[in-house]
Amino acid sequence: MISHTLRSPKRLLSVGGSFVSTLAIVGGLLNQVSVRAQTASSAMRFDVASVRLVPDGSTPQRRLSGIPGPNNKDPGRFSARANLLTLVLTAYDIPNYRLFEQSDLGLLRVDVEATMPTDTTREQLNAMLQNLLADRMGLKVHWASNEITMYDLVVAKGGPKLKVAAPDSPAGGGDASRAGPPRVGTHGFPIPPSGNAEWFAQMPDGRVGMRAHAQTVPELVKQIALNGPINDATGLTGKYDYTLFYSMPATLSAINPTSTAEPNGPSIFEAVQEQLGLEIKKVRRPAQVLFVDHVNKQPTEN
């Protein structure tokens, strides 16, 4: 099945276990690496909460529901079937690269059902979930500085290939407003529709095409989800139009040499350099990282 959307492309790249999986949380650019929500208010509790181990052989994880925000369709109720890794990342509202490697957290799955006031904010939910994990799972954590992988986006040799933004196309981009699957070129990548409206399409084999209109470089940075934050060091201040084609399997291989993904096109690193005239450079810098000191293997009684 082909994934295709004509709205703003917010899911350029997945670097999870396979190229078709999407990272649960991919936020946290370089200017957001400071500690957030280090200590939850001990007074913040769910009205009612149940935490139970997921029986062996049961259904897979399901989407977390009830998280406050514009897309919350179930206010006042938090529900999840997830591993502790996902719940810790959610509770502390951090991307996975800001959690010190804790492979065991991904092995323990729990069902969580909890109620709270319908006007609960995301910050309040974070505190409630942190306290719930501490109370029921014995979770103990601390923050400390640790070097992590980061990236600098710079101008490549030869200069940028970004085009200064053209005027808006009539009717918001012509054919870009049509629905349906994208056309596929002889190279195996999706072909963008006419016009210059934002567009994104992903083929089943992980080949991706996307187009942006009147976008700044900081906005471009937000579209690139890697295994670390990305810092805009280009010095470019304009608004640009660009089209980009890259391979998720090739990107996974570039990030992780042990990956079994078969490259079928340029990685995001190669595509950005060859097609946009920019370069993504890997660096190591210190950041505040969450360390898990202790967690129980089963919850206390409800």
Q: What is the pLDDT of residues 23-75, one digit of tens each?
A: 332 333 333 444 444 456 678 999 999 999 998 777 766 778 999 998 888 89
Phi, psi (5° rounding) for residue 168? -60, 145
* Stretch 240-249: mean pLDDT: 95
CB proximity list for 162: less than 8 A, separation 6 or greater: 236, 238, 240, 241, 242, 276, 277, 278
250-266 burial, b at 16+ Cβ within 10 Å, e below that, comes to: bbbbbbeeebebebbbb
Distance CA 287, CA 33 (A): 6
Counting residues of the chain whose pLDDT is more than 70, the rounded percentage is: 81
Distance CA 119, CA 207 (A): 41
pTM: 0.71
Distance CA 206, CA 248 (A): 5
CB proximity list for 260: less than 8 A, separation 6 or greater: none
Segment 76-124, tens digit of pLDDT: 999 999 999 999 999 999 998 999 977 788 888 999 999 999 999 999 9
Name which of 60, 43, 66, 44 is nearest 113 in CA terms. Answer: 66
What's the whole-number average pLDDT of the chain? 83
The pLDDT of residue 266: 96
**Confidence label for 213 from pLDDT (cuts 50, 70 and 90):** very high
Q: Has residue 208 got a pLDDT over 50?
A: yes
The pLDDT of residue 27: 34
The pLDDT of residue 71: 85
The pLDDT of residue 185: 80
Q: Has residue 239 got a pLDDT over 90?
A: yes
- What is the amino acid identity at position 201? A
Token pair, residue 193, equals: 């529709």
Segment 158-184, tens digit of pLDDT: 999 999 998 876 444 444 444 567 788
Q: Has residue 263 got a pLDDT over 60?
A: yes
Q: Has residue 257 got a pLDDT over 60?
A: yes
Instruction: Lowest mean pLDDT of 11-20, 89-98, 148-157, 284-293, name the range.
Output: 11-20
Domain ranges of the chain: 3-22+149-286, 34-146
Token pair, residue 204, equals: 């089943």
The pLDDT of residue 169: 61
**Confidence label for 252 from pLDDT (cuts 50, 70 and 90):** very high
Which burial class, exposed, middle or buried, applies to 175 when counting CB atoms under 10 A from its CB (0-12, 13-18, 19+)?
middle
